[in-house]
Amino acid sequence: MIARLCIIGVGLIGGSLARALRQASAVGEIVGCSRDAAHLQRAVDLGVIDRFETDAAKAVRGADMVFVAVPLGAMRALFAAIAPVLDDGAVVTDGGSAKGRVVADLIDAVGSTPAWFVPGHPIAGTERSGVEASFAALYRDRRVILTPLAETSAAAVRRVREMWEMAGATVNEMAVAHHDEVLAATSHLPHVLAFALVESLARMDEQREIFAYAAGGFADFTRIASGDPVMWRDICLANGPAILSMIDRFGQDVASLARAIEAGDGERLLALFRDAKAARDAFTG
């Protein structure tokens, strides 16, 4: 049981965690925090949080669990604001998609990697954002990755693991660098490609005709381009080296595909498409 949960950033990710824990009767009071009082009042009206503060230092006082769900670019200032006022025994975790950047910002802000911080990343979401988009089942049967550091308290890791499990998630642990490499391949690259494709087509002279004839395949592939642009800008800047490595690798594979098309190499194309279909079917199955 979490006595008082403070969620900093009450949007899809933070709001869904609040809803899931409340549904599981796993939390007492939920305090929300952001800079937008009207948004936070909406979260109260929806029953997602019990009360709110717009000052993070005030919001975390008395909380035994703090979940940080703000854009990566805001992490450093937030850590600096809350670290001096945390209650003894309080645990802080986050939902940032680039763990190397989060850890670096934490060290810059507080001068160390404190035992109370458990870096984390829920592998869940939709293309929608805001507290109105939150729902209790978002994390059900989804993975959450924790990347504890050498200094992280084992008890803090256990508490964060239990929190996510109560929300319905399966929890795994891995090293920070490995997490960032894996997410660059499975999440960051697909989002970059979706954004790039939509923007490229939108700049074509015949864009009205192109989008008029776009069907299910285009909608499926580009759905994630409706994600929060600020969040994805911050992710690209925070995990740049790993994303660039994946873009380079993907570029080489696309160039190889282009050569097969240019050469009329049907066997090569068929083999590639068969392999891709088998891998995709195994993933969805």
pLDDT score, position 25:
97
Over range 58-84, report the average pLDDT: 97
Q: State the number of CA atoms in the 13 A half-sphere of 230 facing the CB.
A: 6
pTM comes to: 0.89
Distance, in Å, from the CA atom of 112 to the CA atom of 223, rounded to the nearest integer, reads 39
For the cut 80, the answer to whether the pLDDT of residue 206 exceeds it is no
Sign of torsion over alpha carbons 166, 172, 126, 237: positive
pLDDT score, position 107:
97
Give the pairing of strands 120-123 and 143-146.
Answer: antiparallel
Tell me which of 92-106, 204-218, 251-265 is least confident: 204-218
Q: State the number of CA atoms in the 13 A half-sphere of 184 facing the CB.
A: 24
What domains are defined for the chain? Answer: 2-174 (3.40.50.720), 178-284 (1.10.3660.10)
